[in-house]
Amino acid sequence: MSNLNDLRDVCAVILAAGEGNGMRSQRAKVLHSILGRPMVQYSVDLCLRLGVKRVLVVVGSQAEQVKEVLAGRPVEFVHQREPRGTAHAVLQTELVLSGAEGTVLVLPGDMPLLTDETVRRLVEVQAATRTAATLLTAELKNPTGYGRIIRDHQGRLRRIVEEVEATEKEKVINEINAGVYCFRGSVLFEALKYVKVSRVKGEFFLPEVMQIFIEQGQPIYTLQAPDPSEALGVNTRIEMAEAAAVLRQRVQKRLMEAGVTLLDPQATYIDDTVTIGPETVIYPGVTLQGATTVGAGCVIYPHCRIQDSHLADGITILDGSVILGSDVAEGCVIGPYAHLRPQSRLKAKAKVGNFCEVKKAVIGPGSKVPHLAYIGDASLGERVNIGAGTITCNYDGFAKHETVIEDEVFVGSNTNLVAPVKVGKGAIIAAGSTITEAVPPEAVAFGRAPQVNKEGRAATTRKMLEERAQSREWRAESKQSEIAGGKKWRYASSE
């Protein structure tokens, strides 16, 4: 038996039409994200990795939103117009899969912990036995909320009972139905038409198909999940957090096996979408999100957050820094407490230091923005040095404007660069300047107001300030007296 051929003969149906009222949310359950991915993507991507023939996603009331998060994936959508249960949802695919003779794999869209290996094994068992169906089960310590597997004295599947319909004796059973099935396509849809509505829920449950097959004398195979956590579905935010904890451990294990050092995995939060190169060291409290890539030999110190950014090799991110939607080249140093906003680009060996903010700017090779600066809508060349307190004044209340600083420019502390403005190569800007016009290459620019010194005026000024302070105190006391006594006082100094 060839696994590849078996998978090519499989059509997958993913159930993503449920509203998920247990989430207490206006969003459909499968749209909630776990470790950077909407839940429905886990089931879809699993099927695509296995190389199945077709992937059909059954969508419901929030169909457009589900389609949006699956955009770009080679899937087909089938609409379930009314929420009438899982059997009814699968039946909606009958026209699309008309005449299907191979295997129909049915997965819920809310089981992010399923592994490729387990689903592949389920398909293999179905292909080898060619029974009407094969289903996945699991032994749970707490089976609450799941349908129970009822077996006869020989261990054969007798029926599946949903918890809402189970007796107290049946609820004690720990083997549960995971809701993952392989069906022989030629018998599935005919059986679905005989499913009866649940007396308790008023819906058509897919497990009832198994009872129909059993009554017809068709054997049903079961496969128990090697790891019970794979069978956990997500119906509440509590279960979502539990699933995230399991996924987080898997991600961390994968990274550490690939050569990444996580100094405290329990205090590290890395999305499933993140990639990290070997010899990189991650300190506690770090959060890596979205489409982030981190190169080899990097060090990320505590309490940094990096989202949708690309970091090359040999980068150091010091404590408390935030990097969003940015591109950082090799050998850069960032932080502590730096903020790279979207569309920031740091080229090789650039530095952005303490309490600096960079937005939609290019920091050239070897250039430094060491501390207490804001660089936005700007382009810095090579080996530029930006003094403390420097800002680019890039917004005039109506439009953004660009600041261009060419190679080897020295910008003194507390400088305001009022865009649009250009500073030529090798220029020097004196500290405390406000630059509103272009600075030629190799020029020295001063943009300060003239300093005025008044000889011998310090004592007189201090006396004047003291008198003003006393006058303010007297007026305040008078006002309080007026309020307390109910009288209206008039004095010339208040008019």
Q: Could you tell me which of 58, 61, 96 has the C-alpha nearest to residue 78?
A: 58
- Report the side by side order of strands in the sheet with 333-334: 261-262, 281-282, 299-300, 316-317, 333-334, 351-354, 368-371, 385-386, 410-411, 428-429, 444-445
Distances (CA, A) of 229 to 273, 385, 459: 21, 54, 79
Question: Which residues fall within 8 angstroms of residue 158, CB to CB, at 6 or more apart?
Answer: 150, 151, 152, 214
Q: What are the tens digits of pLDDT across the range 100-150? A: 778 999 999 999 999 999 999 999 999 998 899 999 999 999 998 899 999
Name residue, tokens 């935010």: 237
Structure tokens, 211: 């009872």
Q: Is 430 exposed, middle or buried (0-12, 13-18, 19+ CB in 10 A)?
A: middle
Which pTM was predicted? 0.86
More confident site: 459 or 342: 342
Distance CA 252, CA 286 (A): 13
Q: Are 122 and 183 in contact (CB under 8 A)?
A: no
Average pLDDT of the chain? 92
Q: What are the tens digits of pLDDT across the range 345-365? A: 999 999 999 999 999 999 999
Q: What are the tens digits of pLDDT across the range 311-330? A: 999 999 999 999 999 999 99
Q: What are the tens digits of pLDDT across the range 26-49? A: 899 999 999 999 999 999 999 999
User: For position 198, what pLDDT does the model report?
Assistant: 80
Model confidence at 212: pLDDT above 50: yes
User: For position 329, what pLDDT does the model report?
Assistant: 98
Looking at 88, 310, 339, 371, which residue is catalytic?
Answer: 371
- Interval 18-26 mean pLDDT: 83
State the CB neighbour count (10 A cutoff) for residue 492.
5
Is 339 a residue of the active site? no
- Interval 459-479 mean pLDDT: 82
